[in-house]
Amino acid sequence: MSNNKSKEIFSANLEKLMSSRDVDRNKLCSDLGLKYTTVRDWLKGITYPRIGKIELLADYFGVNKSDLIEDKTQEEKEVKEVKIPTSPLVQKITEKVVKLSTPRKQKVLNYANEQLKEQNNKVIMIEEKLFEYRVFEKLSAGTGFSYFNDGNYDTVFYDKDLDHDFASWVFGDSMEPKYMNGEVVLIKETGFDYDGAVYAVEWDGQTYIKKVYREKDGLRLVSINNKYKDKFAPYEENPRIIGKIVGNFMPIEN
C-alpha cells in the first residue's frame, strides 16, 4: 500500500471515529495533549502518525488499531458481497465441521473468531527513513519578525533529504497557499536569481518571505495571498536577499 493511500485511509477512519463520538479537534487535542496542527495534518492526509500515537488514539476511542489504519470501507463491501466459498480447503473444513456436535462446532467457531481478530489487529507499519532538519526562529510570511540572531533552532524531521543551506519556520498566511503557516522553508544562499522567485529578504531589521522584483529604486516584495499589499524596500535602506526559497514541507512527527 502506498504512503499516500495509507494516509487517506487513516484520515477517513479518524474523521469517522471523531464524528461518531462527537469529538472535535479541540477536544481531541485537549484530551490527549496533541498539537492542533498535528491533528489537522492527520485529518487532511498530510502526515501519518507514528505507532505510539496510533495506540494512543485506539485506546482513547476504545477500538483496535486496525480500526484506524485499515480500509474498513473495503472490508464492509467485501462482507456484503461474500458468497458461499467453493475452494477445496474450505470444502474440506466444512465437511468436517458439519459432522461435529453442537458444542464442538462452537469451539471451532470460537477458534476461527480468535484467528480473525488476530489477523485484523495486525498493525501495518509505514517504515520510512526520516531526515533531520535544524529550523531556525524565525522568518516572517506576514508583517515581519526580527532575524534569527541568537542561533536558536528546533529539530524536525521529514521523509526526504532536500538540499539547502538553512531552514526556518513560516509564520503567517501572506504566502498561502504555496507556503503555509507552520511549515518549514528551505533556503539556499544563492543571492538574487530572477524576478518573481521567492526569497528570504532582510530589510529594516526584519525578514520576509516574498516574491521579489528588482526595480530602479529598490526591491518590490509581493505576497502570494492577494489580501496583502506589496511592500517596497528602497535600496537606500540596504535590503538584503538572504537566499532563495528552494523547498518547503510540513514536518513529520518522529
- What CATH code is carried by the domain that includes residue 30? 1.10.260.40
User: Hey, what's the cell of 102?
Assistant: 453442537
- pLDDT confidence bin for 87, thresholds 50/70/90: low
What is the DSSP code (8-state) at residue 112? H
Is there a single domain that holds both residue 150 and residue 201?
yes
Q: Tell me the per-residue pLDDT of 20-35, one tens digit each, with 9 for 90 and over.
A: 888 998 899 989 999 8
- What pTM was estimated for this model as a whole? 0.49
Peptide bond just before 72 cis, omega within 30 deg:
no
Is there a single domain that holds both residue 15 and residue 58?
yes
Is there a single domain that holds both residue 41 and residue 21?
yes
What is the mean predicted confidence (pLDDT) over 64-69? 89
Question: Measured between alpha carbons, how far is 164 from 86 in angstroms, rounded to an integer?
Answer: 59
Residue 254 belongs to a domain: no
Q: Tell me the per-residue pLDDT of 134-149, one tens digit each, with 9 for 90 and over.
A: 988 755 454 444 444 4
Q: Which of these three, 60, 94, 120, is where a domain ends?
A: 120
Is there a single domain that holds both residue 213 and residue 243?
yes
What domain range includes position 111?
Answer: 82-120
Is there a single domain that holds both residue 105 and residue 139?
no
